[in-house]
Structure 1
Amino acid sequence: MDLFNKYIRTALLGTILAFTTHAYANNSDLAKQLMSAQVIELNHVWDNNSPLLSFNPPFSMASLDSHKDTAGMIPQLSFAADMMYFSGQHGAPNIDAIGHIGHNGKAFGGISTDDIDGARGLKSLGIDEYPTAKLLNRAVLLDVARYKGVDHLPAGYEITAHDLEATAKAQKVAIEAGMSVLIRTGFGQFFNDDKQKYLGLRPGPGEEAANWLVSKGIFLTGADQLSYEVVPESGTIFPAHRILLADNGIYIVENMNLEALGATLAQAKDYEFILVMNPPRVRGATGMAVNAFAILGK
């Protein structure tokens, strides 16, 4: 997985550089800036032992062909091939398609969920509709845990609109329409180190915070825990998914690794960056595992 992540990251950066260099052929400074930029991965390495919501299909991967099996099929060469079976919504990280959630039988835009359901995926509002214009997007990190002076927020803690507002003010960031907003709870550190804690009660935005994000006109929001939104002791009806996806068409990203990004931005005292989010174009998918990273100036 490490090699795969590095390959995807390199390929994406190459695409970015090729595009910008072609579009601004006379602006060599732009290419130099991109080449010298700092890249921070926002991913975990995940496998069939990684934490996953119980009602989602599990990740599984099996080798179908080994190098030993294929030796000699092509002169002097061999290859290995595998088959993956996994819930597209729940990689590390994963992005939910807009059509992933319905509210009282309606998907975003008032479309009946009956009209978008299909035997092989969504007929509309699938991840294949993710806009090309947002493969790169201005983003900010609201590091709520660091603002509150804790290593991580308590399990089941509901992040409020006041928490987000106060964090943004302390970090001196302005959230503008069309931007992406990532929220650090500190729970991402438990993805590998404490699976049961990661799967249990977890901090995250509640209904009030979701409405605050909507009021800012954002494009996408993500967090560093299993379900994005708060899961308290008394249970939850997933208000953030309802408000953000079904009611307002705002993408949600879960299972992000924000530890390195949070530390780097805090040291620089600058919480804005370029977010690279490039979901595979799988028609009708209700979500997709993504390889996400941040680009920062040095």
Structure 2
Amino acid sequence: MTAAVPDMRELGRKVRNWGRWGADDERGTTNLITPERVRDAARLIRTGQIFELGIPLDGNGPQPGGSRINPIRLMSENGQEQVLPGGFKWADDYVFMPLQAGSQYDSLAHVHYDEQLYNGHPGDGVTVKGADKCGIHTQAKGIAGRGVLLDVARHRGLPWLESGTAITPEELDAVVEAQGVEVGPGDILLIRTGWHAKFLAESDSAAYMAGEPGLSLSCAQWLRDRDVAVVGADNWAVEVIPGENPGALFELHMVLIRDMGMTLAEMLDFEELSKACAADGVYDFFYTGPPLQFTRAVGSPINPLAIR
């Protein structure tokens, strides 16, 4: 029997972290990444291997256009017409892109409901000038610590999960047990659905964005029980699309970001990392992925790394 989908607002009240780190807090669960946990995570660097988890920032990304496009990079100088003393030549370029065009963090101001952001900050504080509370700049010291990969697609023996596949807490438990890894306080949890592998194989941005496998709404309680600091995925919204409640949009986003204060990482590439983890059975590592300091922004591109 399929478990009932929880009511989003009731679930949000159960897992809410408002006031946990003070009435003025704007950082949420990244407060769980303490200096002691960062220090301990550094001991997970065993070989010095570095794995890129960010996708290339170019015109071949998965954004199909509309509200978000792939990055556009233009040269402002290339040196070809410069005549300068000593033969010196220089080049510059600039980029036009949404801050959530590729691998990205959602800030705690990215979504809200019932006129309130995380920690009760007013939702109308997000204006055309940006977010006066919970902007991505509040995470400027960086997000680094113990990373854990849960390879759900490999656990199922599939290259990727089908669109609309909801990952349940029970399946997360099964993957944890099969991989012999623990998920605990302050961890940066990465969920591999294989959705990026699908995009690499098909290069079909419309199909990539039409839906996706991802976490079910019930996973919010699972994440809260373990005090996970950040959750990321190789899809574009972390959660399953279409959602489990017809007529509702991005309910897991609302619970995780607005109620729990959890930063989300989206559109990551775990393909190289997942192969290395499967080869030696080690699924935890040092993760580093600081956001860019865009003041009052609601998201940021990232180039996260896993170091094993």
What's the TM-score bracket when you normalise by the shorter of the two chains?
Answer: 0.7 to 0.9
| Counterpart Cα distance in 2 of 1:157 and 1:36 | 35
Deviation (angstroms), 1:136: 2.0
Over 3 Å counting, the alpha-carbon distance change for 1:158 and 1:36 in structure 2 is: closer
Over 3 Å counting, the alpha-carbon distance change for 1:125 and 1:170 in structure 2 is: same
User: Quick check: 1:50–1:192 contact (8 Å CA) kept in 2?
Assistant: no
Tell me, what secondary structure is at the counterpart of 2:127? coil
Q: Which AA in structure 1 matches 2:307?
A: I
Over 3 Å counting, the alpha-carbon distance change for 1:35 and 1:274 in structure 2 is: closer
C-alpha deviations, 1:9-36, integer Å up to 9, x for none? xxxxxxxxxxxxxxx9xxxxx99x9695
| Counterpart Cα distance in 2 of 1:76 and 1:118 | 49
Q: Which AA in structure 2 matches 1:203?
A: P
| Counterpart Cα distance in 1 of 2:130 and 2:86 | 40
Matched, 1:284 2:286: no
Tell me, what secondary structure is at the counterpart of 2:255? helix
Aligned residue number for residue 146 of structure 1: 154
My pick for the range that moved more, 281-290 or 48-57, is 48-57
Aligned residue number for residue 203 of structure 1: 213
5+ long unaligned stretches in structure 1:
1-23, 25-29
Greater RCO (Cα-Cα under 8 Å, separation 6 or more): 2
Over 3 Å counting, the alpha-carbon distance change for 1:159 and 1:147 in structure 2 is: same
Aligned residue number for residue 157 of structure 1: 165
User: Quick check: 1:40–1:295 contact (8 Å CA) kept in 2?
Assistant: yes
Normalized per residue, which structure has more helix? 1
- Aligned with residue 113 of structure 1, among 119, 123, 128: 123
C-alpha deviations, 1:158-182, integer Å up to 9, x for none? 1111111111111121111111100
Q: Which AA in structure 2 matches 1:230?
A: V
Q: Which AA in structure 1 matches 2:166?
A: E
C-alpha deviations, 1:120-176, integer Å up to 9, x for none? 3211211111162x5321111111111111111111101111111111111121111
Over 3 Å counting, the alpha-carbon distance change for 1:260 and 1:74 in structure 2 is: farther
| Counterpart Cα distance in 2 of 1:193 and 1:76 | 46
Tell me, what secondary structure is at the counterpart of 1:100? coil
C-alpha deviations, 1:228-259, integer Å up to 9, x for none? 21113867511221111111111100110001
| Counterpart Cα distance in 2 of 1:265 and 1:205 | 21
| Counterpart Cα distance in 2 of 1:179 and 1:144 | 18
Matched, 1:267 2:279: yes
Aligned residue number for residue 268 of structure 2: 256
| Counterpart Cα distance in 1 of 2:248 and 2:87 | 58
My pick for the range that moved more, 253-262 or 49-58, is 49-58
Deviation (angstroms), 1:66: 2.2
Matched, 1:187 2:200: no
User: Quick check: 1:145–1:186 contact (8 Å CA) kept in 2?
Assistant: yes
Paired-residue identity, %: 27
The total of aligned residue pairs comes to 263
Runs of 4+ that moved beyond 4 A = 33-36, 233-236
Aligned residue number for residue 186 of structure 2: 178
User: Quick check: 2:167–2:216 contact (8 Å CA) kept in 1?
Assistant: yes
Matched, 1:122 2:97: no
Tell me, what secondary structure is at the counterpart of 2:218? helix
- Aligned with residue 81 of structure 1, among 75, 81, 92: 92
| Counterpart Cα distance in 2 of 1:201 and 1:89 | 17
Q: CA RMSD in A?
A: 2.4
Q: TM-score, normalised by structure 2?
A: 0.79
Over 3 Å counting, the alpha-carbon distance change for 1:163 and 1:118 in structure 2 is: same
| Counterpart Cα distance in 1 of 2:80 and 2:273 | 41
Q: TM-score, normalised by structure 1?
A: 0.81
Over 3 Å counting, the alpha-carbon distance change for 1:34 and 1:259 in structure 2 is: closer
Over 3 Å counting, the alpha-carbon distance change for 1:146 and 1:236 in structure 2 is: farther
Tell me, what secondary structure is at the counterpart of 2:130? coil
Q: Which AA in structure 1 matches 2:184?
A: E
Aligned residue number for residue 229 of structure 1: 239
Aligned residue number for residue 23 of structure 2: none
User: Quick check: 1:37–1:295 contact (8 Å CA) kept in 2?
Assistant: yes
Aligned residue number for residue 31 of structure 2: none
- Aligned with residue 61 of structure 1, among 48, 64, 73: 73
